[in-house]
Structure 1
Amino acid sequence: MKQKLTHASFLIILMVTTAALLLILFQPVLQHPNSILFSKSIDPLKSYFNFSYYLKYDSGVRHDGINYPYGDHLQYINSHPAYVSVLKLVDKHLYPIADYGVGILNLTMIFSFLLGMPLLFLILRRFELPAWYAFLSALVIGFLTPQFDRIHGHFEMVYWFFIPLFWYLLIRFREDKKPFFWGSLLMLSGTIGGLISAYFVAFYFIFLVAVLIADLWIHRKQARQQLQPAIYVLVLAAVPVLLVRGLAGATDWVTDRPDNPYGFYVYHANLFSIFLPSEFPLKAFISKYMDLGFQWEGRAFVGLPATWVAISLVMMAPIVWLRKRQPDWSFVFQHKALLPYLLAGTLVLLFSMCFPFKWGFGFLLELLPPVRQFRALGRFSWIFYYIFTVYSAFIFFQLFEKLKAKNRQRSAYLLLIAVFVSWGMAAKHNTERATRGLFNENDKLASNDEEFLQRFQHAQVDYHQFQAIFTLPFASTCGDKLLFENGMTALGEAMKCAHHTGLPLVQSFSPRLSFAQALSSIQLLADSAIGKTRLNDMNDKPLLLISTKQELNEQEAWLHKQAQVFWEDQYITMSTLPLGAFKVSHENWLNHVADFKVQFNTPAEINTDTLPELIFYLDFDDQLAENTFTGTGALFKRRGELEIFNQKLPLPAGTAKLSFWLAFDNRHYDMPQPTLTVWDENGKQLSETKLNNRQTHNVFRQWVQISTHFEVRKNARYQLRIKGKYIGVDDLLIKPAGTNVLIRKSEGPDLFNNFVVDP
């Protein structure tokens, strides 16, 4: 009875202490939760907006606040789908909370500590550590968590209690007293985690599988006896993954989402990101002799006490191995119940370091396609963080007990003081870094709409007349292949307007958006030669155009001139943009082409208002390719470098325009990189220019037009090379700037200035 009372007392003390520290750290937020944004940069603002807009205006699995008119699925836009759906029910049936999405999200992140701390305490207690020691250890491990730092942007990743929850429930399941009960809770936790973020169900799966592998290795001599328990654990691991993926797949109306994002081979952990702090006194000196760099996604510093444990293990292991014929590893595994978790954590750590994929086994990704969907493998090191810090706490307590048993009381307590002071300082630094610059005024997604709506009232404009919001400068992404980041400020202002009016955004900055839908958004700013396919799914109401005072490019400036400004201040303008602006410009282009055909009505393949011999055109119809832009052929190379031409050009001195069509192949996250190199007659390189391949709006079907103007030099040799994966090239045209060229195709549509003439 006394032991239970001690256990409960320290658990209560831990909760009270955690609450007090949270009150000190987050007092402004706890006082006015809806008035503060933890960050105003686009990623966190997007998370706030997606969560808040859904809570105010949407229901079901569909989020209609972005990617108008198609919307997007809750599971793919970092909007905490399971959680926000429950809150939606609360708002609808219990109490109105729809206007306080920002505050709810802020408080949830803060209170996640009150869920994580007792779970850490209970885990430490399961390994027979005394309550007072578990209290101190849980406190420092909890506030040192690498997930704390995600409070600046990746909000769902702040919910650090999920990993300790998976671990605690797995411990209880493995005790085999109530396996069905604890197993059911374990699967439920994995499923709920997966419906908050796909990363959590991935953490759950790989953790359980790693423990399964560790168990099979430890008990390899009793393989038959381990078969049935292994199947149980495998089922426990697989069911939540199948449920989450199955639910998302069954309710998703999109079939072409990106599945191989950039970062798999970049955003991973290494030894320095785990065992060294981001800053330490000798870092500058040591960096002169070795690379200590690491990606921030891989940061999961375990604290110097745990680092010393790791170093000691590495140094002692060969000594023990050499001294004994049958090495005794009890110095490492002093608690047998910890052994499988330590081995499992090590396996997960290797995975977070991109092992074995980065060491010549990249082909395995073809066999495991879901794995490559996680751009930040470094996050999986968080599992190792919790396991190894708990293990280190256990090791230090064993040393403490041994010193006491040898009547070295003073040394024993000095050891613990040193350990917890060091861990405490690391935790303090972690909290200071995580909370630095955190309390920003919520002037974007406030609960009161009246102040913002006065803009429309003063202008005598009814915002209901608009169907959606479009922003300039343009901001969007298409997986990681096309990226437009100049308009982040405008997109933030558009989110503010959408939050207060309910009008959806045409654009989306979600990396998991449908390729086709993302391309149709990007295409809205394409040349007038390209019909805007997205308009076919819109109604006839105008768009609300929100523009900042930033400099606009040529296409953006043209579109801005087609709109009528009705409100502006020193930061933004709001305008009415009729959809006819898009349609009329395309119709004018078609009429221009028709007039040109009448004027140059010849059977020749190339018709131009300049000398035909000055036109350089390659149709590649004699080449085999997986797909073509026009005609019967195109250049294609699966990977490497493809040389398109390397020769003198039949053009006079002056400005010329180069354009060609590059296949948009979604099997790789990046666009192939074209490079134009100029050589003089002696073979000396005069210039080398990487052509813009990521910020172009001229999209037609699954092809992107790459174009540039360049100066033609007499006797110079020009070389165009394209490097990358899945390179597809078709219809290359070089002509004097300002001239018109009509290319008549025997098969397929004609081209005018290298744009398809609609049939």
Structure 2
Amino acid sequence: MLKNLSVLSLITLIVLTSAAILWRFPDYFEYGNSRVIEPWGDGYQAYHAYLYHIKNDTGYSHYAGMNYPFGDHVIPGNCQPLLSNAVKFLGLEHYALGIMHFSMLVSILLAAVFLWLIFMRLGLPGWVSVAAAIGIAFLSPQIHRMSTHYGLAHPEVVPVVFYLLLRWEEREDWRWALGLGLSIFIFAQIHFYFFAIMAFTITGYMGIRWLWRRDWKRLPRYALHYGLAVLLPFVFFNWWMNAGDPVNDRSGLPWGFFNYRAYPGGLLYSPFEPHWKWLGEHMLKLRHFDFEARNYIGLTAIAGLVLLVVALAKRRFDTVMPAEQPVDRRQWMIYTLVASAAILIFAFGIPFIIPGLEGLLNHTGPIRQFRSIGRFAWVFYYAVNIAAITAIYRVWGKKPLMMALPLAVLLFEAHAFAWDKDLRLDPIEEYEPGKRFTDLKEVNFAAYQSILPIPYFNLGSDQFWWDISGLVAQKSETISIQTGLPLSGSHLTRTSRSQTLKQLQLVTEPYRLPAILSDFPNKKPLLMAWDTIRHADFGQDFRHLLDGALLLYEKKEFRLYELPLESFQERIDRKIASIQRSMSGDALSARDGWLLSDSTARFVYRSFDDKPSDHPYSGAGGFKGVMNELSTLYDGPLPGDSAQAYVFSAWMYIDGDLNTRSDMEIQLYDPTSGEVRQSVRSQVKDKVKVFDANGWALIEWQVQAEQPGSAVRWTFLNKDLGKNELLLDELLIRPAGLDVYKHLEKGVWWNDRNYTVDGRW
């Protein structure tokens, strides 16, 4: 009889959850294989990685769709390799888009099923288990990840781990430990953050259990089971991601650890619930949190948590977790709550956010790679909701109307949360038959080796952030999916520093022949995708690329150009010729070996040849400092007395992890009193103008002096790099608009740039 009731309860759960999914996502069943959730930014990049890998990559481990010609491994490439490789292997590429969308819908159903399994094993009746499972699944913070981070939109992950830990607690069998390891193997191939979240959960649970029970004699058994659950998948992924991956210069300290964290407010209230919206508008000043901090646990969980705390304070814990319950399941809940609370503390950034303890992060090894630590709060979300529902049932379970109230609140909030976000599917014009890029008669895509998007974007190295602007990313990624052409741009995770420098040199001001050209496998031209509106936001930064480009196609603000590889050298040659013409004319004034465009203007130049250096950029010496000590590159008068704009430039060696994240400050101060009149700050990454092929880059920073007669101080500091060397060279400070020239023995010098006569250095 009980078994039949359980089966009926499970069928009810599946039917109701499926109906709720159909109600919430009706267009997925109509347009799931032809439309997308997010046609821009992170969301569309996820589509590109997944679809490109299925349709165009020749293997199962490497993603070649971006960062051409290097590509990246499918794990940091965000390809969801479990799903994409299965689709590729089974030859289902024509259904790939729909399979991806339905995988997220099925994950909601799986989350409800595993939550139901947990509640049933904890002794809750079927109707309570069904209602609670559906409510917790739809209130999950991961539901909103469907808007852009599709790999993270799998709310079944933590319930699966909790269920397997519960079964392991009931029967300490190695097969359940192996099941945990298999679950990590599966879900880490959907998104690698799940490896860390699941490993933390298992480690916390087993660690708390071992300490709680003082199982010293059973330590070998713990070690064996932990090895099967965590270490075995760790060894596999470490081998898979490193064996065939030559990249050894990924950033060791990605930016965001102190920013993308959880906050108590993000757990206790939500801007997506009508009651919290009303309170925020009429009674309370509620803080708005970013994506990573929105981990609302719900009013029912808050009430249950209060109930647990009060019971614990009054030493009446057995009233909410009575002793007559099987002890293994009661212990499971205690260990789960304690472990999830410990993980929540980590999600808050503790102890690293405590003043003076920030440096501890540098000693956490691979944990630093998981910078969006707010996601670890998901473990607490599930743990506290399971515990709250169980505790409330133990107190009011014999009064169905009383028990129905917290369940109704949970379902109400779940509906408000899951239905608030716009997750409708959007059409993309170029997906329609007859309108695909492959239908264009004007372009022979097979004649090109890569797509160069302009405005150029490059994200993922944690050395530079060249963000996506306008429609060019969507259009170029669509071309890439449909034609198989990879992108020279990058929208990835933890990409190679040296590869990034080569990519940026390709699109910036003509100076040296881009080193990446020698990495290209052939001499085919590039296909340049151009946004005629947004490129203007970057001034002249990319306009030089039109010199030598051939227009192929134009529709509204989007254009396609052919960009021959020979044009890169030709642009350098024309730049040198232009400088030489200026230097040979009569418009410049000579002064002490320099040629100036304004005979009355002054400038400051320091070669640092008097400072010995093993690694100067130019000449016999260079400026050396220590990264975590304040280094003053210049402290002296400005080359002018008026309140005007000045250009500060210097060469810096940037081919070291985090070098470009060094802080710079320019202070303009009263030369008599020393009072600081004006201060501007930036990081090196935001002011790099020119890239050389040897790891050096030109910083060029224009600052408006607000008062006349100021002195200036230019300083550098990077607290994350310890005693590493800071290498700078060739300082130039000049009024904006002044051009400074000089003849070199084998070339010419202009505004802190040096060229050889033939354009090659």
Q: TM-score range by the shorter chain?
A: 0.7 to 0.9
- Name which of 555, 568, 571 aligns with 1:582: 568
1:373 paired with 2:372, answer no
Point out the more displaced range, 672-681 or 161-170.
Answer: 672-681
**CA–CA separation in structure 2 for the residues paired with 1:329 and 1:728:** 62
- Name which of 606, 624, 628 aligns with 1:618: 606
User: Once the 2 structures are TM-superposed, how far is the Cα of residue 686 of structure 1 from its aligned partner?
Assistant: 5.4
SS for the counterpart of 1:474 is coil
Question: Structure 1 unaligned runs (5+)?
Answer: 92-96, 321-327, 405-411, 600-604
1:754 paired with 2:728, answer no
Q: What CA deviation, in whole Å up to 9, does each residue of 1:440-484 have, x standing for no partner?
A: 11335x3757643333x1x3x422111111122222225233222
**CA–CA separation in structure 2 for the residues paired with 1:383 and 1:305:** 17
User: 1:48-197 to 2 correspondence within 5 Å?
Assistant: 48-60=47-59, 61-91=61-91, 97-176=92-171, 179-197=173-191
SS for the counterpart of 1:87 is helix
Amino acid at match of 2:666: L
SS for the counterpart of 1:197 is coil
**CA–CA separation in structure 2 for the residues paired with 1:443 and 1:31:** 17
**CA–CA separation in structure 1 for the residues paired with 2:681 and 2:157:** 45
User: Once the 2 structures are TM-superposed, how far is the Cα of residue 669 of structure 1 from its aligned partner?
Assistant: 8.5
User: Once the 2 structures are TM-superposed, how far is the Cα of residue 699 of structure 1 from its aligned partner?
Assistant: 2.0
1:237 paired with 2:225, answer no
User: Once the 2 structures are TM-superposed, how far is the Cα of residue 175 of structure 1 from its aligned partner?
Assistant: 2.4
- Name which of 523, 535, 550 aligns with 1:540: 523
User: Once the 2 structures are TM-superposed, how far is the Cα of residue 116 of structure 1 from its aligned partner?
Assistant: 2.0
1:214 paired with 2:208, answer yes
Residue in structure 1 matched with residue 325 of structure 2 by the alignment: none
Question: Residues 314, 293 of structure 1: CA spacing in aligned structure 2 closer, same or farther, 3 A cutoff?
Answer: farther
User: Once the 2 structures are TM-superposed, how far is the Cα of residue 339 of structure 1 from its aligned partner?
Assistant: 1.4
Question: Residues 210, 271 of structure 1: CA spacing in aligned structure 2 closer, same or farther, 3 A cutoff?
Answer: same
Contact 1:664 1:671 (C-alpha < 8 Å) held by counterparts: no
Amino acid at match of 2:448: F
Question: Residues 229, 499 of structure 1: CA spacing in aligned structure 2 closer, same or farther, 3 A cutoff?
Answer: closer
**CA–CA separation in structure 2 for the residues paired with 1:191 and 1:626:** 48
1:560 paired with 2:546, answer yes
Residue in structure 2 matched with residue 452 of structure 1 by the alignment: 437
Question: Residues 235, 612 of structure 1: CA spacing in aligned structure 2 closer, same or farther, 3 A cutoff?
Answer: farther
Amino acid at match of 1:545: M
**CA–CA separation in structure 2 for the residues paired with 1:355 and 1:421:** 35
Residue in structure 2 matched with residue 645 of structure 1 by the alignment: 634
**CA–CA separation in structure 1 for the residues paired with 2:350 and 2:592:** 54
Question: Residues 227, 120 of structure 1: CA spacing in aligned structure 2 closer, same or farther, 3 A cutoff?
Answer: same
**CA–CA separation in structure 2 for the residues paired with 1:193 and 1:340:** 23
Residue in structure 2 matched with residue 699 of structure 1 by the alignment: 691
User: Once the 2 structures are TM-superposed, how far is the Cα of residue 173 of structure 1 from its aligned partner?
Assistant: 2.4
User: Once the 2 structures are TM-superposed, how far is the Cα of residue 397 of structure 1 from its aligned partner?
Assistant: 1.1
Amino acid at match of 1:425: F
Residue in structure 1 matched with residue 31 of structure 2 by the alignment: 32
Amino acid at match of 1:166: V
**CA–CA separation in structure 1 for the residues paired with 2:174 and 2:383:** 25
Question: Residues 357, 234 of structure 1: CA spacing in aligned structure 2 closer, same or farther, 3 A cutoff?
Answer: farther
Question: Residues 591, 560 of structure 1: CA spacing in aligned structure 2 closer, same or farther, 3 A cutoff?
Answer: closer
User: Once the 2 structures are TM-superposed, how far is the Cα of residue 616 of structure 1 from its aligned partner?
Assistant: 2.1
Question: Structure 2 unaligned runs (5+)?
Answer: 323-329, 586-590
User: 1:488-507 to 2 correspondence within 5 Å?
Assistant: 488-507=470-489
Identity percentage of aligned residues: 23
Residue in structure 1 matched with residue 464 of structure 2 by the alignment: 482
Q: What CA deviation, in whole Å up to 9, does each residue of 1:125-161 have, x standing for no partner?
A: 1212222221111111111111111000110101221
User: Once the 2 structures are TM-superposed, how far is the Cα of residue 102 of structure 1 from its aligned partner?
Assistant: 2.2
Residue in structure 1 matched with residue 327 of structure 2 by the alignment: none
Question: Residues 598, 248 of structure 1: CA spacing in aligned structure 2 closer, same or farther, 3 A cutoff?
Answer: same
**CA–CA separation in structure 2 for the residues paired with 1:54 and 1:10:** 40
1:399 paired with 2:434, answer no
Residue in structure 1 matched with residue 557 of structure 2 by the alignment: 571
User: Once the 2 structures are TM-superposed, how far is the Cα of residue 262 of structure 1 from its aligned partner?
Assistant: 1.5
Contact 1:568 1:574 (C-alpha < 8 Å) held by counterparts: yes
User: Once the 2 structures are TM-superposed, how far is the Cα of residue 743 of structure 1 from its aligned partner?
Assistant: 8.5
Question: Residues 451, 370 of structure 1: CA spacing in aligned structure 2 closer, same or farther, 3 A cutoff?
Answer: closer
1:282 paired with 2:279, answer yes
**CA–CA separation in structure 1 for the residues paired with 2:612 and 2:204:** 46
SS for the counterpart of 1:674 is strand
Amino acid at match of 2:439: Q
Q: What CA deviation, in whole Å up to 9, does each residue of 1:606-639 have, x standing for no partner?
A: 8422489945223445668896534444232323
**CA–CA separation in structure 2 for the residues paired with 1:352 and 1:231:** 28
- Name which of 229, 241, 266 aligns with 2:259: 266
1:252 paired with 2:245, answer yes
Amino acid at match of 2:526: L
1:330 paired with 2:318, answer yes
**CA–CA separation in structure 2 for the residues paired with 1:272 and 1:615:** 53
Amino acid at match of 1:442: I
User: Once the 2 structures are TM-superposed, how far is the Cα of residue 650 of structure 1 from its aligned partner?
Assistant: 4.4
**CA–CA separation in structure 2 for the residues paired with 1:451 and 1:41:** 18
- Name which of 697, 708, 715 aligns with 2:709: 715
Residue in structure 2 matched with residue 470 of structure 1 by the alignment: 452
Contact 1:675 1:690 (C-alpha < 8 Å) held by counterparts: yes
Point out the more displaced range, 348-357 or 477-486.
Answer: 477-486
Contact 1:621 1:633 (C-alpha < 8 Å) held by counterparts: yes
**CA–CA separation in structure 2 for the residues paired with 1:167 and 1:43:** 30
Point out the more displaced range, 644-653 or 507-516.
Answer: 644-653
TM-score, structure 1 length as denominator? 0.87
The root-mean-square deviation of aligned C-alpha atoms, in Å, is 3.2
User: 1:600-639 to 2 correspondence within 5 Å?
Assistant: 607-610=593-596, 614-620=602-608, 628-630=616-618, 631-639=620-628
User: Once the 2 structures are TM-superposed, how far is the Cα of residue 580 of structure 1 from its aligned partner?
Assistant: 1.8
Amino acid at match of 1:155: Y
1:661 paired with 2:654, answer no
Question: Residues 722, 16 of structure 1: CA spacing in aligned structure 2 closer, same or farther, 3 A cutoff?
Answer: same
Contact 1:524 1:697 (C-alpha < 8 Å) held by counterparts: no
Contact 2:169 2:332 (C-alpha < 8 Å) held by counterparts: no
Contact 2:671 2:711 (C-alpha < 8 Å) held by counterparts: yes
Amino acid at match of 1:208: I
Point out the more displaced range, 352-361 or 21-30.
Answer: 352-361
Point out the more displaced range, 693-702 or 264-273.
Answer: 693-702
User: Once the 2 structures are TM-superposed, how far is the Cα of residue 594 of structure 1 from its aligned partner?
Assistant: 8.5
Residue in structure 1 matched with residue 414 of structure 2 by the alignment: 427
Contact 1:469 1:505 (C-alpha < 8 Å) held by counterparts: yes
User: Once the 2 structures are TM-superposed, how far is the Cα of residue 689 of structure 1 from its aligned partner?
Assistant: 4.0
Q: What CA deviation, in whole Å up to 9, does each residue of 1:179-215 have, x standing for no partner?
A: 2332222211111222222111111211111012211
Question: Residues 181, 481 of structure 1: CA spacing in aligned structure 2 closer, same or farther, 3 A cutoff?
Answer: same
Residue in structure 1 matched with residue 505 of structure 2 by the alignment: 523
Paired residues, what number? 723
Q: What CA deviation, in whole Å up to 9, does each residue of 1:417-453 have, x standing for no partner?
A: 210111011100111123x252211335x37576433
**CA–CA separation in structure 1 for the residues paired with 2:621 and 2:121:** 69
**CA–CA separation in structure 2 for the residues paired with 1:464 and 1:649:** 55
Question: Residues 706, 215 of structure 1: CA spacing in aligned structure 2 closer, same or farther, 3 A cutoff?
Answer: same
Q: What CA deviation, in whole Å up to 9, does each residue of 1:304-359 have, x standing for no partner?
A: 01101223344454454xxxxxxx64346433332111111111111111122222
**CA–CA separation in structure 1 for the residues paired with 2:614 and 2:341:** 43
User: Once the 2 structures are TM-superposed, how far is the Cα of residue 399 of structure 1 from its aligned partner?
Assistant: 0.8
Residue in structure 1 matched with residue 379 of structure 2 by the alignment: 383
Contact 1:469 1:498 (C-alpha < 8 Å) held by counterparts: yes
